[in-house]
Amino acid sequence: MQRRTFLSALAGGASAVAFTSISQRLRAGMLADEPPVRLDPSGAGESVFDRVRTMAGAFDARLYTKILGAANAFKEGDEIVGVAAVDEDSRVQARTLLSNTRIEEIDAHPLIEDSLSALLRRSRDDRAAQRTEGMTVGDLKRFLLDRDEDAIKGIMPGLSSEVIGCVVKLMSNEELIAVGSKVFNPLPGSKVGARGYLGARIQPNSPTDDVIDIRWQVFSGWSFAVGDVLLGNNPVSSTPESVGAIEKTLKEVIATFGLEDVLPHCVLSHIDVQAEVEASQPGSTALWFQSIAGSDAANRTFDVSTEKMLGYADARSGPFGLYFETGQGADFTNGHAQGVDMVVHEARKYGFARALAQRVAQARANAGAEPDAWLIVNDVAGFIGPEVFRTKEQLVRCCLEDIVMGKLHGLCIGLDVCSTLHMSVSLDDLDWCLDQVTPACPAYLMGLPTKIDPMLGYLTTGFQDHVRLRETFGTRVEDRMWAFFQALGVIDADGRPTEHFGDPLWVYLQYCRRKGDARSDAEILSDGTAQMDAVRSHGVFLPRGHGERPFDLEPGLGEAITRIYDDAKESIWAELPPAFVAGVPGAVSVATRSADREDYILHPESGERLSDAGLETIRRLRQNHNGRFDVQIVISDGLNALAISEEGHLAPFLDRLRAQLERDGFRAAPEHIVVTSGRVRAGYRIGETLFGGLDGRRAVLHLIGERPGTGHRTFSVYLTSADGSVWGREDAVDHNITKVVSGIATTALSPARGVDETMSLLNIVNP
């Protein structure tokens, strides 16, 4: 699962009281429906371990974990896990206790024990660890604030991930900025991540994986002198064929401009798919991407393990190594918090990345190369939604914590300062967030033509934002890429915008000339204009030029973005009309445990399991089917009911799907199960009830409305196929065995093509 499940709009704002059901808490990793953490004032010099023994009579692992969590700045996710302080006084007390706690005591009491924990221990430098012997966490905080970069780097390799996670809890935002602004881990042979530099990953996403969309977004970014770290696409389709086509496109653009040794490319599919593409098309890939988590259990959600990732690291002997994406809250929202707070989980992800960086270095040394290779990380802060945190202030806090934790692990870390459309973070709020975060010196930020991603449907950093931040904070673009932008003619020798600044047509002209295109300028520009019009018709914003200032949007573009933002809010709150549901052929209506739309939006787990009445309906359906069918079609409103009810979407899709299922020999149940307030995991639970214990492979095809904010009203198909024995184990089926076809709409991936891709995947998993 790579960034594909989206939530909806915030209800209740920052003052909303979070409801957390027992089932939600249990799924998040709690052992019981526990109360928040309340702590009385501490005694002089009292540590966390002293308090635990006082309260429990002996060491109690759960109480210890809760006190560490209580030291966190408040976020809704920690409250759901059951480790948040009950109030600010208790939070202050938890921080005081933690400040008095010795580092070696924390290291002697690991919060999670698994294979990742063992790897994290092996990756620490024992000699560097000796330099912090006898320190408390408070001492470490003072050391980080008082000492210079060289001194800090002398102890960094010896700091455990859990200690790094603990020390940031003691710091104010200003203190996090102070540490972030003096520790830098630039990429080898590059200024990416160096002092004074702020880079950009161009994120050229397309609603249909159209390589023309992708190529023109690169041209657009470069026209603003943005895009010096990575060309990194999030694909709609995870098939090797689609991923390979995008890899080829990105590589070709880079090679045309002679940047092969300067700038890598990447398609953010599962790492297994990237390896398959490289095996079939040697040399087509550069950086290899993978989302990673903070424990073995959570990593299984991404279908990776420590062993698998170590194997891939051992094979990365080229100049471009690995690229990881993380984010606070991903562990608990996937049901694997294990009772541990979000900051510690995030720190463990950076420890995982540090350990893998060491293995990549060893692989390069074994190959006779310089050991350093590019290994980068970005934190996707704000991507999950209001069950993790809800406000712009919390988004900034998360970003600052993660910058410092990543840097203290020795990583080159960037940010996706982003917001889903159900958080109380607006387009204007993101500017404020960027201004608060940039002084902490992340290595890079995302870069898109505007703040709205045309495929993922969330808010993030636009190209013009980078131009504004460069002017406001005096940050620089990587030297070799800056020289390229000057040679391209979009900036002059003094770094000022030229007449071609912000004009992707000019970049296209240079691209064609470098490819030996002999047409006249007028012919090339006419062709380019037609291509730009086609890209824009796909819902991909492609600015040409800018407003009064170089960082102002092209006139009229801001209003268009606002219209999409408003449509997204409408889509999020929409529900399937009863008359529409009644018109679905063979509709069997069921509801989830969500009390209403607000509950569904704020508490995703409530939409993952059926109500008692809904579950009984599915049981009766199983009896009626008597094992005759091997495919069940499920339809959910999801986060975009309008995508399901939009004219020309559902009916033609179902007609074509059923025809192809019959053609290929599948036995599809005649009923369509229509779920109110349904999320992706509701489909898994339906499959368990229908197929558990039956012979052979059985598949659920779950059509669900998604991604409000793309400018398209799109739905996706989540395809899950497993043997009846697997369906029969409660919660055994999850995202790790699911394939997805996304972005289906009459204005994006057509319903006909959506069916064809769905059937292609189904036939692969059901040979």
| pLDDT tens per residue across span 582-631 | 999 999 999 999 999 988 887 888 999 999 999 999 999 999 999 999 99
Sequence-separated contacts (24+) of 505-514 with Cβ below 8 Å: 505/529, 505/532, 505/544, 506/223, 507/219, 507/220, 507/222, 507/223, 508/216, 508/219, 510/257, 511/219, 511/253, 511/256, 511/257, 514/256, 514/257
Cβ neighbours for 428, distance < 8 A, ≥ 6 positions apart: none
CB 542 within 8 Å of CB 220 = yes
| Contact assessment for residue 476 and residue 482, using Cβ atoms and an 8 Å cutoff | yes
Q: pLDDT tens digit string along 68-103?
A: 999 999 999 999 899 999 999 999 999 999 999 999
Q: What is the spatial distance between Cα 483 and Cα 404, in angstroms, rounded to a whole number?
A: 30
Task: For residue 127, give the 3-state DSSP assignment.
Answer: helix
Cα–Cα distance for residue pair 165/352, rounded to 1 Å: 13
Give every CB contact of residue 622 below 8 A, 6+ residues apart in sequence.
689, 690
CA 438 to chain centre: 20
Query: pLDDT value at position 16?
Result: 22
Pair of tokens at residue 740: 């997805």
333-376, pLDDT tens digit by residue? 888 999 999 999 999 999 999 999 999 999 999 999 988 889 99
Looking at residue 735, what is its pLDDT? 87
Cα–Cα distance between 578 and 576 in angstroms, integer?
6
Token duo for residue 312:
């891939």
pLDDT for the residue numbered 33: 58
Residues of the chain with pLDDT under 70: 1-33
> Are the CB atoms for 581 and 590 separated by under 8 Å?
no
Q: What is the pLDDT of residue 754?
A: 95
Measured distance CA(340)–CA(330) in Å, rounded: 12
Average per-residue pLDDT for the chain: 92
What does pTM read for this prediction? 0.84
DSSP readout, 641-654? HHHHHSTTTHHHHH
